[in-house]
Structure 1
Amino acid sequence: MRKLDSKIAVVTGGSSGIGYAIAERFIKEGAKVYITGRRIAELEAAARALGDAARAVPSDVSNLESLDRLFAAIREEEGRLDVLVANAGVISSSPIREASEAHFDSMFDINVKGTYFTVQKALPLMRRGGSIILVSSCLATKGFPGHSVYNATKAAVRSLVRTAAAELVSDGIRVNTLSPGPVDTPIIEGQVGSPEAAEAFRKQAATHVPLGRIGRPEELAAAALFLASEESSFSTGIDLVMDGGMTQL
């Protein structure tokens, strides 16, 4: 028996990178997966690649009406939700001396506000035995220069997991954090702007990782599967750090 047979899952930011890998692994384990994202063409292409068990729903997590439409669609089509992976997020850098209000607001709107209300609006569909996974970052515990706003957003996500887990334990819903280190995804090109700079970034990032390399999306998907399934039935409120030892050694 597969680990997520007959489960209904949502993966926000599911059109590429870690989110896509999580959706792909969940489907292999028997789930029907709703993937969301803001770029419609990319989202629909991802759903086609994932196959019949994937459903693309365009959604902007920073827009509450958009979230309402997402969960209304799931309510109408499925009537329930078993697994939520709040993965949608953005990253950009700026020294504190130079950070603008727009820089601050854009990341908090998506990484914190978006994550918070994704959880809130999913709850009416969640059943006893459900699993909520919020994607944070190993940088939530690091003083990494240039990333003060991003790091703060991911620390907020980690804090939210503790309180949500405490509030929902009586409902039989587990809430956990998944915190990646540097992972080889298209977001790297988006940060640095060219294939050559991306390759240099990957090499530089690997020097901070005790295992000597950056992570692979499928490794994060395996961790998400653990948190989503009954394999982690005795875990709630935890932070599962997948960073090659970057924050641990």
Structure 2
Amino acid sequence: MTHSLGTTHSLSSGAPRRTVVVTGGGTGIGRATARAFAAGGDDVLVVGRTARTLAKTAAGHAGIRTLAADITAAGAAERIVAAAAECSGRIDVLVHNAAAVLPEPAGSLTRGHVRTQVETNLLAPLFLTRAALPALEAAGGTVVCVGTAAVLGRRAFSGLSVYGATKVALDFLVRTWAVELAPRGIRAVGVAPGETDTGIGERMGWSAEDIARHQARAAARTPSGRVGRPEDVAWWIVRLARAEAGYTSGAVVAVDGGASVV
């Protein structure tokens, strides 16, 4: 486990610098989100399995600290909270972005792949939120869950039943936590990205041609006529976590170019 500290400063408005935690912050949406928060003057802790990719996220961004950790490991939630809160004793924003995607049809499910997806996509957010509650309450904080627009409404997700089921569960947690945690001054919101160019195809071993074909098909199905960029999703995460969004809780915002409504 590595832990590196960036410099600390205050927001130009004179308000205390917020502390933000982003899991899965080494690539894609997590990287874009961490950088967007840091650009706004926040202290950001990015968490992921690989120190090398986390270092790329933090490069050139003094407000980003890194913590290489397996979020599914015993004690990981407590280590993350301790690392995040060491500067201010609080956590203002907790972004559950880390996810495991292991495609398998129903007839070929393997226990190991199922366990990995459930532990990463559902159990880790559950227990990290539990561990962070005192720090979130101290800050009047916000929990943000990153789901997927592919499971909104009555849609199916062929070949990705376990991944999709965990994302449905995250949406339910957003609604439930919005009610349960409101008395503690904590909000819960979600974003549901559509097809987004996060580099996941590359990490899954797809060829450049496969990725191009997949994205072309996705763009053709999307009213906006393109796939999303990580920055498209990060923009919404940052704004849902702002004080101006304080009356928004329990909502899951689709960021998918309109694909979920056609």
TM over 0.5: yes
Give the match's secondary structure for 1:35. Answer: strand
2:89 match: 79
The one-letter code matched in structure 2 to 1:125 is A
1:27 match: 38
Q: Conserved in 2, the CA contact under 8 Å of 1:128 and 1:171?
A: no
Partner Cα distance (1:57, 1:91) in 2 = 22
Q: What is the CA deviation profile of residues 49-88 of structure 1, one whole-angstrom value per residue up to 9, with x for unaligned ones? A: 4x21110011211113122111112233321111111101
1:135 match: 146
Partner Cα distance (1:134, 1:99) in 2 = 26
- After superposition, residues 92-103 of structure 1 pair within 5 angstroms as 92-103=102-113
Where has structure 1 moved over 6 Å in runs of 4 or more? Answer: none
2:27 match: 16
Partner Cα distance (2:217, 2:64) in 1 = 35
1:57 match: 67
Number of residue pairs the alignment of both structures matches: 248
Q: What is the CA deviation profile of residues 173-232 of structure 1, one whole-angstrom value per residue up to 9, with x for unaligned ones? A: 110111101101111212342222211221122222121111011111110011110221
1:246 match: 259
The percent identity for this pair of structures is: 34
Q: Conserved in 2, the CA contact under 8 Å of 1:5 and 1:31?
A: no
Partner Cα distance (2:100, 2:163) in 1 = 8
Structure 1's unaligned 5+ residue stretches are none
1:70 aligned residue (80, 84, 89) = 80
1:217 match: 230
Query: Is 1:204 matched with 2:217?
Result: yes
Query: Is 1:186 matched with 2:196?
Result: no
Give the match's secondary structure for 1:155. Answer: helix
Partner Cα distance (1:92, 1:204) in 2 = 21
Give the match's secondary structure for 1:133. Answer: strand
Partner Cα distance (1:209, 1:98) in 2 = 30
Query: Is 1:154 matched with 2:167?
Result: yes
Q: Conserved in 2, the CA contact under 8 Å of 1:25 and 1:225?
A: yes
Partner Cα distance (2:158, 2:45) in 1 = 36
1:43 match: 54
Q: What is the CA deviation profile of residues 131-180 of structure 1, one whole-angstrom value per residue up to 9, with x for unaligned ones? A: 11011111223202111111101001111111111111011111011110
Give the match's secondary structure for 1:182. Answer: coil
Partner Cα distance (1:72, 1:81) in 2 = 10
Q: Conserved in 1, the CA contact under 8 Å of 2:90 and 2:139?
A: no
1:171 match: 184
Partner Cα distance (1:5, 1:183) in 2 = 33
Q: Conserved in 2, the CA contact under 8 Å of 1:11 and 1:36?
A: yes
Give the match's secondary structure for 1:240. Answer: strand
Q: What is the CA deviation profile of residues 82-133 of structure 1, one whole-angstrom value per residue up to 9, with x for unaligned ones? A: 1111101111211111111122111101001111112111112113431110
The one-letter code matched in structure 2 to 1:97 is G
Task: Give 1:39 shift.
Answer: 0.7
- My pick for the range that moved more, 234-243 or 136-145, is 136-145
| CA-atom RMSD in angstroms | 1.8
Structure 2's unaligned 5+ residue stretches are 1-11
TM-score, normalised on structure 1? 0.94
Q: Conserved in 2, the CA contact under 8 Å of 1:138 and 1:180?
A: yes
